[in-house]
Structure 1
Amino acid sequence: MNNPVIKTNALSYYYSAQEKTLSEINLQVERGSIYGFLGPNGSGKTTTLSLILGLLDSPDGSIEIFGQHLHSNRIGVLKKIGSLIESPSLYAHLTAKENLNVYRAVYGASKARVEEVLHIVGLGDTGKKTVKKFSLGMKQRLSIALALLPDPELLILDEPSNGLDPAGIIELRELIKRLNREHGMTIVISSHLLGEVEKMVSHVGIILKGKMLFQGTLSDLQSFQRKGARLLINTSDNEKAFELLRDHQPEKAEENVSIAFHDLQQVANITRILTQHALDVYLVCPQKNDLEQLFIDLTSSQS
């Protein structure tokens, strides 16, 4: 990658002498990208992001941000970063604007910047409505507004969709895409929800038990997913279908037949074989890899 905004080299971390939380993480986030950092709870996502933000000390390996070593240029680097790692303290009895004004001096932001970020996150018309009357989605957007006060070049969000309802998740997704598209912001977003992250990111990193299993573009990930995708088939005679599809290395999956799935032409060929042998086809259903299955496949490929 050219001029990555974030580059870690063999980043490792121990919470104790006996407990190695991260093992040689080589993370690269390209400028202008939306980078999805994926992994189940406890996989090391938050620890990695906390190290990148200087919230944890004494890692092994190196961290470069904007081409500078974090620990020798910490203050200058962090001024260019906005982050939401844990929910910030919002004052329930204050309005959105009043909450931002509490933090404005900390970030050296102007009153005009407060108005600007409220507009960016869609809270510009909340007026005198206090935060205790906000929906969870509105509170999350206000938290992101806080992260945007310093007008950052890099935005880091740790599991921002946690607890949101479908409408809140859609609002958040559109906000992230707009920040990237209209404001040129590089964004790192961690999540355990592959299906949601796929709808907004350009690049993906997958971490499991403190180790990076995959890193690349979204199209690279989708190519890997297709390799492990399965096609579920149910017919009037599944035993016969199993024999007819021997060349496709079929497997029995409860009441269905399962085969490796590559493309739509393969689906057409299989359906033709079955109907030509007088079988009624009740179900032909592509099953993409979900995140859990991806972890299994990636772990198997590394063993």
Structure 2
Amino acid sequence: MHQTALIHNPRSRLNRRLAVHLPSGLLSASPTTEAELFASLTEYAHREVDLLMVSGGDGTLRDVLTQLPRAYGDVPLPAIAILAAGNANLVASDVGACQSQRDALSRLCDAAATGRWRRDIVRHPIAVERHGQPTILGFFMGAAALNRATQYNHDHVTAGGGVSVAITIAAAMWRAVRGIGDWAEGDWMSLSIDGHAAREGKRFLFLASSLQSLMLGLWPFWGSSGPMRYLDVDAYPENLGRSLWPLMRGRPTTAMLESSYHSSGASQILLKTQGPIIIDGEPFAAADGEFRLAPGPALRFVSP
């Protein structure tokens, strides 16, 4: 018999306007701090919860996954079922999810009772290590133009979902192509892939992900596969306007491959930068500016 529980973020975009109706007997918590979240997950581990519903967006999921291994300790990690209630819901678009609707919890509980899932897959988040700070588990991250785009989204974009992503990408690339502000200038980074000599210099954009698909048909990665995929674009990228569509589809032209655009798979990435990196929608800094990226634990995701 499965033991099921819920972590609910009432501040997530869709949850703010949706009243939650809990099925009878369902364990639930709405933590508002890291300490409260850890306490809730620790209680779930003691109760041997093996299916954890997460109602929120990418940031909520990141926070839950980051705390989960420490809270569960030697107890096997639970399967995860997402109720997509955030802004972009990027992870949910890959692993599957219930939309945040009034009957979503009941549908998840019914599926758990029967063990019948429409999707049942395994993904490894990226473990982001920082010296002297807790390891973060996330699925999509990057720096430079992604920092600027994330800030633009927070300041100017009120739409959600795919519309939010499309507006933000269009605005970011327009500013970069037109040379508005410092968008094309990039940020200084040192990047070492799988122990190879580091490449240093200004980058227009760096991305890394362990997802297998993104929303809107976007896939800005190519080259060999690996547990992580990365994109590395030099500052002031050549022919950016003509390269945008091939870049976003992961189909670079020969000219792109011979100039500013680099992508492949990796098992370990060492990134040094002077600013924060964005992890599933929010910025995180390292005291020494150094981030180590490696595959995290295997996680099972289910959706009805």
If the length of structure 2 is used for normalisation, what is the TM-score? 0.24
Question: Max radius of gyration: which structure?
Answer: 1
Which one scores higher on RCO, CA 8 angstroms, separation ≥ 6? 2
Q: Which has the higher helix share?
A: 1
